[in-house]
Amino acid sequence: MAECRRSAPSESGTMSQDSRNGGESCMRTYTAIIERCPDTGLYVGYVPGLPGAHSQGETIDELKANLSEVIEMLLEDGEPTLESEFIGTQTVQVG
């Protein structure tokens, strides 16, 4: 789930902070489920299988920023072991 890339010098020739500290930065990508609460109108999101990775916001952008902050805090304790893996969605017909 993590994509690591080596930092390169900028056009001015200076190295990024990541480059000075080992040369790699890792960009992790997680899938979030987003719903809208009918009572509050807030967007509510969570990352399936990652305990504690849930938040809310008045806009999608605010929710994404809040989720990112929560996930960063969870990662401070080390790379988490996901309890499950998001696969996708399906349409189910009844009746």
Question: In which residue ranges of the chain is pLDDT below 70?
Answer: 1-25
Residues 6+ apart with CB under 8 A from 13: none
Write down the CATH number for the domain with range 30-78. 3.30.160.250
- Answer whether 0.75 is exceeded by the pTM: no
pLDDT, residue 1, reads 41
Q: Rounded to whole angstroms, what are the CA distances from 46 to 30, 36, 52?
A: 10, 12, 8
**Domain range list for the chain:** 30-78
